[in-house]
Amino acid sequence: MSLERLPRIRLAALPTPLEEAPRLTEALGGARILVKRDDLTGLAFGGNKTRKLEYLIADALAGGADVVLTVGAAQSNHCRQTAAAHAGLPDRQALRVRPERPVRPDPSARPERPVQPEQPRWARRSARRATGRT
């Protein structure tokens, strides 16, 4: 099946640019090196997860879903991407269950602050039960 036939909602600013890496090119002896800037997709630091979510969110909406639930680690980029995708859609809500705390802080978790989706009480209770915290 062709991707053109699948439902898709545009979330990314595509195509993302290619940038020359002249110092790396020089360091490696002259082979021209380009870097694909998928961090510039425009959705919570993007990348391949944004591209995947364009299809997953469209499929959920086409199926009549009004809530998308994604579960991941406390510093999950996929969870941050899902929350950001739903933050831009009218009358939609993304839920993120964060059952554990990171062992040590990770700078990649910081960009999620602007995308704080609501976490209902039942999700918080489920997360506590899953980790043994009551």
CA distance 21 to 31: 10
Tokens of 20: 């020359």
Q: Are 48 and 56 in contact (CB under 8 A)?
A: no
Identify the active-site residue in 2, 76, 108, 126. 76
Give, to the nearest 10 degrees, the angle between helix 77-87 and helix 48-62.
50
76 annotated active-site: yes
What is d(CA 5, CA 3) in angstroms, rounded to the nearest whole number? 5
Q: Which residues are catalytic?
A: 76
